[in-house]
Structure 1
Amino acid sequence: MSKRPRIESHGDEPERPGGGHSLSKEPDMSKLPLIGRCTGRTPPQHLYLVVEDWERGYSIHRVGEDDFDPDPNAGLHARPADRPVVRVEAQHPHSWSFAAHGSKILAMLPPEYSPGIPVFDTETAGMTVWPSPQSRGDFGSKPWYISVGGRLLAFVYPFVEVLGPQPRPPTDRSWSWDSVEPPPPFVSSVVTGYAVHPDGRTVFVSVRDWRPDILDSRRSTFTFDMERLEWAHAGEWLLPFKGRAYYDRELDAWVGLCLHREGAGRVCCCDVPPAPPAGSCKTMPAWKLGRDVFFGAPDSALGHLSATLVYMGDSTFCMIEGGMPMDCDGDTRARVVKMTCFLLKFGKDGDLCATDHRAYASLSYEVAHERMDRTQNPVAFWM
């Protein structure tokens, strides 16, 4: 039996509701229980931000527990992102071409002269080069990457490729991407939301308007089995998430940013449907909208551009908001990344809400090139 209150069902369609010291300072021990609950492992985990502040590519900045502050005003005084842990050559303005796999961050769209995919290992702080997928350089459709069960899936229509575990040295084994055939009946750019099933092998993927030959808007969810490398149709419904959602064991639900305009700035949660071959889910799983609004308030000191939700473990999340300082003109290259770390719980009335125990951090930088895309979400990984 679930440990949480039952989520109210809204039918097939969601109801529209009404160096590593870049930010370092003296640690505040009062904030450690929130962030530290996620970093009790060895080695400790950090938040890694990928920003476009380098003319030849991107800088990767590491944010640790000492960089967060319990004072909400801490997010108003952004520290300059002047000490990245590493810089990676990659093409602009495609920050969504970065992927995470285990402890590694991959730049999937490197310069044409690169012999392969540049990879930064956050555990060793080392750089290496991995083999290129067939889809390298073919970004006519927005890519989609997901790491599950030791394998990395790259979907850049029409290519669907999987990279298996890296051979352990010393070895003479070749290592390359495997093509998945047949491809799904939709392009990668129409993916609205996705989540990994708790079984550790099944990915649920929702797509919208993927059949232009049909007058009515087609909203469907498919599954991909990372072991069998097979697609399957799950049902005619959409996950209520924008981008990636994460399974939290304590909440026993997927949690992600709300897809719908009426839920802008909020998170939502959704029941986890059974994975194949248990059967298809003909109706959308029950879901619930979070109570708290994390961005987009009229009195905000930040001109909101985009946002990303990152899961830090144990019901702890980080809302990462990208924007422009309100006192700058619209053509400015100035950017601010605001981070809000919070703990999600179900309240006594069953509402999904964040506790008052939160932590804040921010950093500022300038976009280093003219090819700015304000619609791209912040790129961040917890590892």
Structure 2
Amino acid sequence: MAADRPLLVLHDKEEGHLVYDLLLLLDGEEETTTLACFPRPVARFPSQWCLSFAVSGGSIVGAEYDWNDTYFHDTVMKVGGYDFWERHASPWSRRDSEGRLVRWWPMFRSYASRFLGGRHRDRPAMLPLPDGTVVRMDTVLFDGIYTFETLRPLPGGGGWHATPLPNPPVGPLRKNEITFVSAYLALGTRVWISVNDLTAKGTFSLDTKHGRTWRKEGTWLLPFEGRAFYVPKLDSVIGLTAGTRLLCACDVDNLQVVRHVWTDTYPRPWEERIISDGGHPPSEPSKPRDMPSLAYLGKGRICICRPMSTMEPSDYGPIVTYNAASLLVVELKRSSLPPNGNGDLHLARRGKMSYMWPPQGRESPYMGFIQPATC
């Protein structure tokens, strides 16, 4: 089995979801770093629907969730190669509380004639923990129709065992009312989430190993957007700021307050323009859009993946697709101050912007990292 490491997922409209290994490059002259992907995928998930992924224990596990159904895939990477094979359940199957595959009939999910879950930004979160467990949780909480569960690998690589978790105490939602999980992270076996809603706003945590009850941490929200993660080397929680999506850091003992924000981690104006194959800029600049994601590459180095598109995002128009993704590697360090050498956290190096295009010039509904547990 391959070791846990960050990977990049690209949703290709023709081939399904392609998973790529990463290659870190160092430019010695300018002391900058760039990130590239190996030319062939290490795994492929043939589904055309939106999938959520996690890498844990050398395996890539994906969960499909649309307005009809939920089911799981499992792919194991071969060490040192790019071959792949797939094992997946019937598309109309689901695991019960004992981990057995059972038939589960479709459940209609809609709100004001608008389907939920059909876009990647509405897909469930897949949060790996250090013990190999993956927590799967819906990020769209709709009228009581949402689930939280743990996925644990079965001995011998025979699949995954699903166990339901209690729903967080967000309070009763009114009919046709929607609320969202705005941010989440794992500290050891404890999962933290923030729910952003006028009536249910707050942050909750649950110890997946020793507890079965969510604890309300307060009415404040985690100051991130999407997933954040703890980096032991930096002794900080790293994420993207809500709204502006800049790289930021919080202290572990105070997750309410952002201690550092690095504005230099957003693409500069001249970096937003993608050069076409002919060496000429396109008719319109391709700007970073939705769904940025992070990957921790070790030694304080973090890569930010920002899908890029000439299309303006719209809640009611066609699903936005992306013609490229920008990849930016930065290195964070702590200043060496006496007596313990644990000084201020700062941006020590900013790499060159690099780009990835979908195969054969096609546009992609999604490009982003899957990050294994970091502690």
TM range (shorter): 0.5 to 0.7
Query: Which residue of 1 is the match for residue 88 of structure 2?
Result: 129
Per the alignment, do residues 111 and 104 of structure 1 end up closer, same or farther by CA in structure 2, a change over 3 Å counting? Answer: farther
Retained in 1: the 8 A contact 2:56–2:372? Answer: no
Per the alignment, do residues 115 and 162 of structure 1 end up closer, same or farther by CA in structure 2, a change over 3 Å counting? Answer: closer
Report the Cα distance in structure 2 between the residues aligned to 1:191 and 1:185, rounded to whole angstroms: 11
- Corresponding position: 1:155 with 2:130: no
Query: Which residue of 2 is the match for residue 362 of structure 1?
Result: 355
Query: Which residue of 1 is the match for residue 340 of structure 2?
Result: none
- Corresponding position: 1:299 with 2:280: no
Query: Which residue of 1 is the match for residue 238 of structure 2?
Result: 255
Which of 239, 249, 252 pairs up with 1:269? 249
Report the Cα distance in structure 2 between the residues aligned to 1:379 and 1:86, rounded to whole angstroms: 14
Retained in 2: the 8 A contact 1:107–1:117? Answer: yes
Query: Which residue of 1 is the match for residue 41 of structure 2?
Result: 84
Retained in 1: the 8 A contact 2:179–2:197? Answer: no
Report the Cα distance in structure 2 between the residues aligned to 1:193 and 1:368, rounded to whole angstroms: 33
Per the alignment, do residues 238 and 56 of structure 1 end up closer, same or farther by CA in structure 2, a change over 3 Å counting? Answer: same
**What's the secondary structure of 1:230's corresponding residue?**
coil
Query: Which residue of 2 is the match for residue 146 of structure 1?
Result: 127
Per the alignment, do residues 167 and 368 of structure 1 end up closer, same or farther by CA in structure 2, a change over 3 Å counting? Answer: farther
Query: Which residue of 2 is the match for residue 378 of structure 1?
Result: 368
Deviation at 1:308, TM superposition (A): 0.9
Which of 102, 105, 112 pairs up with 2:57? 102
Report the Cα distance in structure 2 between the residues aligned to 1:72 and 1:338, rounded to whole angstroms: 19
Q: Which amino acid aligns with 2:247?
A: V
Retained in 1: the 8 A contact 2:5–2:55? Answer: no
Instruction: Show CA shifts across 1:274-310 (max 9, x none).
Output: xxxxxxxxx8644313234222433332421132111
Retained in 2: the 8 A contact 1:240–1:268? Answer: no
Per the alignment, do residues 127 and 72 of structure 1 end up closer, same or farther by CA in structure 2, a change over 3 Å counting? Answer: farther
Query: Which residue of 1 is the match for residue 327 of structure 2?
Result: 339
Report the Cα distance in structure 2 between the residues aligned to 1:367 and 1:210, rounded to whole angstroms: 45
Per the alignment, do residues 133 and 74 of structure 1 end up closer, same or farther by CA in structure 2, a change over 3 Å counting? Answer: same
Per the alignment, do residues 230 and 167 of structure 1 end up closer, same or farther by CA in structure 2, a change over 3 Å counting? Answer: farther
Higher relative contact order (CA 8 A, sep 6+): 1
Percent of paired sites with the same residue: 21
5+ long unaligned stretches in structure 2: 97-103, 110-115, 139-144, 275-286, 312-317, 338-342
Report 1:306-317 matches (<5 A). Answer: 306=290, 307-317=292-302
Report the Cα distance in structure 1 between the residues aligned to 2:78 and 2:249, rounded to whole angstroms: 31
Per the alignment, do residues 56 and 291 of structure 1 end up closer, same or farther by CA in structure 2, a change over 3 Å counting? Answer: closer
Deviation at 1:122, TM superposition (A): 2.9
Retained in 1: the 8 A contact 2:55–2:371? Answer: yes
Greater strand fraction, Structure 1 or Structure 2: 2
Retained in 2: the 8 A contact 1:108–1:136? Answer: no
Query: Which residue of 2 is the match for residue 226 of structure 1?
Result: 208
Deviation at 1:111, TM superposition (A): 10
Report the Cα distance in structure 2 between the residues aligned to 1:136 and 1:69, rounded to whole angstroms: 54
Which of 239, 260, 263 pairs up with 2:222? 239
Query: Which residue of 2 is the match for residue 4 of structure 1?
Result: none
What CA RMSD, in Å, does the superposition of the two structures yield over aligned residues? 4.3
Retained in 1: the 8 A contact 2:22–2:38? Answer: no
Per the alignment, do residues 334 and 205 of structure 1 end up closer, same or farther by CA in structure 2, a change over 3 Å counting? Answer: closer
Report the Cα distance in structure 2 between the residues aligned to 1:60 and 1:332, rounded to whole angstroms: 21
Instruction: Show CA shifts across 1:41-77 (max 9, x none).
Output: x9676542111224241222222235x65669997xx
Instruction: Show CA shifts across 1:310-360 (max 9, x none).
Output: 12233221111211379xxx9996622222222212458966432126365
